[in-house]
Every structure is written in structure tokens, then in C-alpha cells.
Amino acid sequence: MTDEIDLLRAADPAPADEGPWRDRPLSAEAERRLNRLLREGRARCRRRTAWGLATATAATAAVVALAVLFGGAATRSAVDAPSPLSVDAGAPAVPLAELAERVRRAAANRTAAPLPGTDVQTWSMGLRDDGSAAPVTVAEERTTRRHHDGSWTETVVATDPRRPGRPVLTGDGPAVGDRTVLSETTRLAGNAPDTSYPESPPHTVTGLRAYLLHGARLPDPPGLPALLDAVSAYLKAWTPGPRETAALVGVLAAEPGLRPAGTVTDRLGRTGLAYVYDSPADRGEPLRRLVILDPRDGRVLGMEITYTRDIARYRVTAGSVMSYEAWLR
């Protein structure tokens, strides 16, 4: 908790000389500071808490997770940190505008509706602000489903598809086996999972852009990093249909910054088109964002964020993968 309080104090979203703040909403500037805090806080403390629990096996996992995440410098990492994906720059680079038009035409007569819920594989790096422990990487798969009766089930399992069948969490305690259930939550009808995107997404570029900005409470223009964070949150709540996918590619094409970089094979063995954004050096954010799109239908296959320079304070070296997300449906 101390780390989060320190982050909040540093962000200072509600300075004492701008009050009083009791019983009134934050100003636009205060909201901007809070949004920035959320984005930067995620880079600093990607994973501060232990994995959730649902079974006795998961309870064992949590004990090990606590040792891994909060242990000393000699503690072994949860899984081997993934290496940055290698982009084949020699392959034809397809401009986003060209892909957006291609996907729009292909989706014009396809009316499959977006599906609530998602299936996403993630690798997340956890950092200690005081540098007392080396970064750790946690790998898990999160599946969210809405059933015919309106109820919801969210299941989180420990898994690393790079090493199928092998333990995911290692250290001084017992290992956690591949596909170990870490948590399973059921919600009754009408009690949807907590998300910024409870409503079904629109299928036009203009409508979807407004939907993304509203759900993430972003200003207009949002800036590409914040927009990509919003896309990630949206794809954790919904599986877009063909028209919504086409609209999303259109949104990305209209936002300056993403450059075509060739092709890449993602961590699940799928080939996609690579689009890259390097944060400007003067922004103080040494990050590279990689977005992988399916060349056939424009579906987002994955997103990767890597550090572009060493950060001694957090024991991070250039090229370290801060996070990777791979959508499975």
C-alpha cells in the first residue's frame, strides 16, 4: 500500500492550494493527473498483489507467489521473462490505412455481433520501487464468459504456452503446475464484471473512438499510449465482431504514431502485421509499444510493451518486456 500512496502523492491530483475538494467532482486537470497516474503506475507496479485464490491448490500458489513477488533479490522469477518479439522488417509493411480499408470492405456484409467476455494470455512484469528485488514475470490466462442465463464466469489459470506442461511458478516452495486454477468467480445475471465498457461497442470508426475515450475517461485527442491502453481494456471486456474489428483498425489508422514495421510471429505461433510506436525521449517514458494485427481480418492478436533503455532503479534493462497480451479469440 505504501508504494501506491507514494505514487498518489507524487501525482498530486488534488493539490491543497486548489481546494476545497470535499463533495465536488475533480476538475479536468485533476482527472488528467489521475489518468496519468494510472498509466504510469501500471508501468512501475505491474503486479503488486498475489494471484487470486479459489481452491486449496491456488492457496499454495499464493504462498509461493508472495515469496516470489515480495522476496529478496535472490528469489527466482515466476517464469523466465519473455524476450522481445523479433519483427521481420524485410517483409512488406502494410500501412494501417490500407489495412483498415481492406478489412472494412471484407466486413461490410458480415453482421456477427460482438461477444461479451474474452480469453487473453498475459505476461506481466512486477517491479519494486526501492529496487530491493529483481523484476518478476507472471504468466496467466484469463477467460471471461457470459452464459445463456445471463450469469458470468471468470477463470484465471497459471500458464505459459512457451513451456506447455511445465511448472509456471518456481522458487523455494512447491511449484505451481501448468493450467492450475488461480481463481474462479461466478456472478449472477445482471451483475456483470467490473469494466469500463459495460455496453455493447458501436461498429463505426467515429462511434467506437468516442466509446473508447468515454470508457477510459480520456481527453480528445487522447495520445496514442493512452488510446492503446483503452483498446486493451476494451478487448478484455468484449470480443469484437467483424464490423467492430474493422472500426477498431480504422480508429488506430486515424491516430498518428503507429508505423508499419513488417511482420512478426507472436508467442502463440501466429503471424501478424507489426505496428510500432516509440515514446518520444522527452516524455520520460522509455517504452516501445508493438501492436500485432491479423492480416486477414484486422483482429488484434497481441500487444507488447518493452523498455527502450536501462532503468537502474528498478533493475530493468533495455529490451525487457514490461507486458505482453495475446488474445485467443
Residue 115 near residue 234, CB atoms below 8 Å = no
Greater confidence, 2 or 137?
137
Residue 105 near residue 250, CB atoms below 8 Å = no
Question: Which letter does DSSP use for residue 136 in this model?
Answer: E
CA dihedral 217→222→223→226, nearest 10 degrees, is: 20
What pLDDT is stored for residue 44 in this prediction? 38
Contacts of 254 (CB under 8 A, 6+ apart): 205, 209
pLDDT bucket at 313, cuts 50 / 70 / 90: confident
Name the residue among 199, 225, 238, 230 with its Cα closest to residue 213: 230
Instruction: Provide the residue ranges of all domains of the chain, joining segments of one domain with +.
Output: 1-44, 45-327
Asked whether residue 63 carries a pLDDT value surpassing 80, the answer given is no
The phi-psi region of residue 133 (left if phi > 0; otherwise alpha if psi is between -120 and 50; otherwise beta) is beta
Cell of 70: 515480495
User: Model's pTM, two decimal places?
Assistant: 0.74
pLDDT tens for each residue of 222-264: 999 999 999 999 999 999 999 999 999 999 999 999 999 999 9
Name the residue among 40, 43, 84, 82 with its Cα closest to residue 274: 84
pLDDT bucket at 143, cuts 50 / 70 / 90: very high
